[in-house]
Structure 1
Amino acid sequence: MALLTLDEAKAQLNITGTAEDAELQAYVNAVTPVIERFVGPVEPREVTEAHDGGVRPVLVLRQTPVLSLTSVASVLTGGTAPPVEALVLVDPDTGEVRRRDGGYLRGLLQVTYQAGRTEVSPTINLAARILVQHLWRTQRPTRGGGLAGGGDDYSVSEPIPGFGYAIPNRVLELLEPYRLPPGVA
């Protein structure tokens, strides 16, 4: 499953030939991390991360949404970790994990899990298409012979921290319902 395919990008740009496929594929590849920075992983992937549990009732995974837990292991020599079957994923959107028996998670743990989505929302796909279109248009003059750039339809009212003016307002509006909760990145 891909966030955006080359064929979908070509359809958005009304490109029928193959002469620009290699260049356009670079744009397609580049939008995935940009979109995922706002909404979390879209394309499913395995994630392994260490958590210094100390002693606590809840563990919060860093990449959301979470599809499933794969394994939990103690990083410390002689340490123990609960089997993955003893854990429950309380909230896939926040990555909150607890023990089924209500006990505490202890020590330094290595957690492996699947993050991403089972399907790409049409709205997220459309945001990716529009972002590719915006980036593509900034490199080429419009067909009517106008100046290169996005124009009013692709305006960016203020820079986004970490992105500058690369994300048009319409993309941000489409992604807003899927945006990661504060503190999740």
Structure 2
Amino acid sequence: MALLTLAEAKTQLQLTDTAAYDAELETYIDALTPVIERHTGPVESRTVTETVNAYGPLLALTQVPTVSLTSLTPVHSGGRAIAADEVALDGDAGVLRRLDGARFAGGPWVAVYVAGRDDIPPTINLAARLLLQHLWRTRYGAARGNPGGGEDFDVNEPIPGFGYAVPNRVLQLLESFKAPPGVA
């Protein structure tokens, strides 16, 4: 499931030409995902493989929300893999708990799981549309009279690691989906 489709991008930018901007828009759409996911954690579903440590009866995954667990195997030989149906997954927190109440012994563990969301919430989709509109405006500008022109969105400051600022209205929309500290 895509964060933003090409058709949604064209609608947001009021582009009526069916193919003239497609390749460029696809580049913009691809660039939106890491910016949005920096605030929300994974939005588009993806398989993640990572080595994690357990803390007693709990094991915390780093990419949340988590949709499902595929496998959980100890890094060191001699340990027993734990089947996905032997653990309870709190997907929002990315925390695994053994159903038998036992501790996660014999780790660290290699966890393979699907992170992201089954459905893209409309608020995140709108934030992606507004970010696209902002980026498109900074590329083409209102002075050239291109679609999406007009005043640029307000921004506070550039986000470290990204070469441009994210509009305040986008950050406000993403606030309720903000990933916990140390995650994503």
TM-score over 0.5 (shorter chain): yes
**In the alignment, which residue of structure 1 is the partner of 2:6?**
6
User: Hey, which bits of structure 1, 4+ residues long, moved more than 3 A?
Assistant: 143-146
Q: 1:48 to 1:145 in 2, by over 3 A?
A: closer
| Superposed displacement of residue 82, structure 1 | 2.5
Q: Which piece of structure 1 moves more, 58-67 or 175-184?
A: 175-184
**Contact 1:135-1:166 within 8 A present in 2 as well:** no
| Structure 2 CA distance for aligned equivalents of residues 150 and 182 of structure 1 | 36
**Contact 1:75-1:109 within 8 A present in 2 as well:** yes
Unaligned runs of 5+ in 1: none
Unaligned runs of 5+ in 2: none
| Superposed displacement of residue 164, structure 1 | 5.3
Question: What is the alpha-carbon root mean square deviation over aligned residues?
Answer: 2.1
What amino acid is the match of 1:98? R
What amino acid is the match of 2:52? H
**In the alignment, which residue of structure 1 is the partner of 2:182?**
183
**In the alignment, which residue of structure 2 is the partner of 1:35?**
36
What amino acid is the match of 1:82? I
Structure 1 residue 94 corresponds to structure 2 residue 93? yes
What amino acid is the match of 1:69? L
What amino acid is the match of 2:87? L
TM-score (norm 1): 0.89
| Superposed displacement of residue 46, structure 1 | 1.1
**Contact 1:138-1:150 within 8 A present in 2 as well:** no
**In the alignment, which residue of structure 2 is the partner of 1:155?**
154
| Structure 1 CA distance for aligned equivalents of residues 131 and 176 of structure 2 | 17
| Structure 2 CA distance for aligned equivalents of residues 8 and 2 of structure 1 | 11
**In the alignment, which residue of structure 2 is the partner of 1:81?**
81
| Superposed displacement of residue 85, structure 1 | 1.8
**In the alignment, which residue of structure 2 is the partner of 1:168?**
167
Give the SS at the match of 1:23: helix
Q: 1:144 to 1:84 in 2, by over 3 A?
A: closer
| Structure 1 CA distance for aligned equivalents of residues 92 and 2 of structure 2 | 20
Same amino acid, percent of matched pairs: 56
Deviations 1:126-184 (A, max 9, x none): 100110110111011316759xx873x50112333333542100100010011112222
| Structure 2 CA distance for aligned equivalents of residues 145 and 126 of structure 1 | 24
The 5 A counterparts of 1:20-169 are 20-53=21-54, 56-89=56-89, 91-106=90-105, 107-142=107-142, 151=151, 153-163=152-162, 165-169=164-168
